[in-house]
Structure 1
Amino acid sequence: MNANTKEYLAITASGEDRVGLVEQLSNQITSSGCNIEQSRMGVLGGQFALIMLVSGPWNALSKLESQLPATGEELGLTIIHKRTQAREKGEALIPYQVEVVALDHPGIVHSLAQFFSRSGINIEELETDTYHAPHTGTQMFSVHMTVGVPAKMQISTLRDNFFAYCDDLNLDAVLEPARS
């Protein structure tokens, strides 16, 4: 295998949140000769959670893989890694943003995921949050997601079906093309 061929490693890390985790983990990646291609990070409760796609030549990724157990131990993180490849170009997809707000109750994410799955639409990104409504203090739930809509799909039909579905569940929703 050519030492200059770009390969990929998916890494997930989680543990107690504290200042400096991103700096220390990214330093380990960079000093191994690898590059962070994509990443998502958040603090949920008191837990730090991160997922990233790292690239580099096979020898740099091998070096990083061998160092990750000790890095996890040192940083107090559970780190899982797996070799992967660049995402294959498949069917043409159009990114759409979905925003949903509703009174908080169990099952909203599952219900939305079921709607999109049954429609043949992949959820690319998903973020949820709960908050108290400003004047009433009612517990609210919000969902922000990016979905990949197949280019051959009739958008007007999708919109009609989605909004009818949301109306049935009393969800306030927006479905619009993603902006870069």
Structure 2
Amino acid sequence: MPAKNSHLVISALGNDRPGIVNQLSKAIFELDCNITDSRMTVLGGEFAILLLVEGPWNRLAKLEDLVPELQSELDLTITTKRTEERSGQANLLPYGVDVVSLDHPGIVYSLASFFSDKNINIEDMTTSSYAAAHTGTPMFSVRMNIGIPADIHIAALRDEFMDFCDSMNIDAVLEPIKG
């Protein structure tokens, strides 16, 4: 039976330019490690990377030792943290939340507070600002995946969430994630 793999989270940030993903993924591949989950995006002029890397503990240790060289070579700020495989969340129902609003400060905070107060975990979130078609009005959108505890009455939560969104003058949808 093969030895159980270890897990390492890598966070990297640096000026956006072609080739960053190629060079970082090559270093991981050459150590016989595997990227099992990732998020990568351009924020302003910076490229941000989050990776979950899996491999034998000694290969991950070599990767950790390689970080100073990678930082210099790739001109990135890199941090690492050992982690465990995520345990199953059997009692959580996966739901998606989509929100669109006129852009103003505090939208993310208000949404996070609403769900936090109900012990609902935000598992993934993406936000963006954009100009509305035709008018150019500054708009803000949020896409979240949340885990709702199975003992929460979904219809009541949806009603409360829609009332909350109406009070903030934001359009929202709360629906199960299919598949």
Aligned to 2:27: 28
My pick for the range that moved more, 161-170 or 88-97, is 88-97
Q: Could you say if the C-alpha distance between residues 92 and 81 of structure 1 is closer, same or farther in structure 2, counting changes exceeding 3 Å?
A: same
Q: Map Cα deviations across residues 3-32 of structure 1 (whole Å, 9 max, x no partner).
A: 832100011000001001001000000101
Q: Could you say if the C-alpha distance between residues 174 and 90 of structure 1 is closer, same or farther in structure 2, counting changes exceeding 3 Å?
A: closer
How far apart are 1:90 and its partner, in Å?
4.2
Distance 2:91 2:59 in 1: 33
Counterpart residue identity of residue 22, structure 2: E
RMSD: 1.3
Verify the 8 A CA contact 1:3 1:58 in the aligned structure 2. Answer: no
Percent identity between the aligned chains? 54
Q: Aligned pair count?
A: 179
Verify the 8 A CA contact 1:3 1:59 in the aligned structure 2. Answer: no
SS at match of 1:88: coil
Distance 1:176 1:50 in 2: 28
Aligned to 1:101: 100
Aligned to 2:18: 19
Counterpart residue identity of residue 43, structure 2: L
Distance 2:150 2:51 in 1: 28
SS at match of 2:151: coil
How far apart are 1:75 and its partner, in Å?
0.2
The alignment's TM-score, normalised by the length of structure 2, stands at 0.96
Aligned to 2:82: 83
* Matching of residues 1-180 of structure 1 within 5 Å: 4-90=3-89, 92-180=91-179
Verify the 8 A CA contact 1:127 1:145 in the aligned structure 2. Answer: yes
Query: Which ranges in structure 2 are unaligned for 5 or more consecutive residues?
Result: none
Query: Which ranges in structure 1 are unaligned for 5 or more consecutive residues?
Result: none
Distance 1:179 1:72 in 2: 40
How far apart are 1:178 and its partner, in Å?
1.1
